[in-house]
Amino acid sequence: MKEKEQVITPVIDPDPYASAIAQHNANQLNVGFTRKLLTANVWFAASTFIAMIVIGCLVYAVLHPPVKYFATQNGRIIPLHPTNVPAYSDADVVDFGNKLILDAFTLDFVNYRAQMNRVIPRFSDEGFQNYHAAFTLSNVLSSIKDKKMNMSAMTSSGVIVSKGTLENGLYAWKVQYPTKLKLVGQVNSLPEQSFVISLLIQQVDPRLKNAGLEIGQLITYEAP
């Protein structure tokens, strides 16, 4: 007898493309993951580079701090700085000049000598000569002495018209102050007068002048 031949029924895949699609999706996931990983690495490298620059700058700043020199005078510590570069803010310089004008142009007939001598340290030799000449040539000083008058001053905010290093190597600011001066006597008073006071304020060694600044030139103009 002949044995019956077994009939093998082929298995038909209901979706012949399923495996290919699955493989494609897996590949897409790998590509997306790789892209994200690459982006993360780029950002990490960039942030690391920036951090290295910042750290390098900090290390340099620590190893190379700005040089500061100090001197002692009568137990007082004085910071020193080059006089050919600005060591003070514009506001500090303008304020220095404003206070000088108020002190130098507020005089009374009893104490005017002491009051004028008191401001000498804030002038250079030439600057004080300008200051004294402004009083004598305008006869203001004679009015204070002979007519027993008192002078008061009122200033407006100073305006810096120029700044830079002078030929003598000192850094300086030229500042103009609108100023009103008034002479009041025991018997009569003079009308208030308006002036523009121009100051050349220059840096000096603070061991010589405590403020580190002085008036190198003083010029008065009648206000327009």
Cα 69 to Cα 60, 81, 82, 84: the distances in Å are: 20, 7, 10, 15
pLDDT on residue 28: 53
Q: Does residue 199 carry a pLDDT above 50?
A: yes
Q: Does residue 100 carry a pLDDT above 50?
A: yes
Kindly report the pTM of this predicted structure: 0.67
Q: Does residue 146 carry a pLDDT above 60?
A: yes
CATH numbers and ranges of domains, the chain: 87-222 (3.10.450.230)
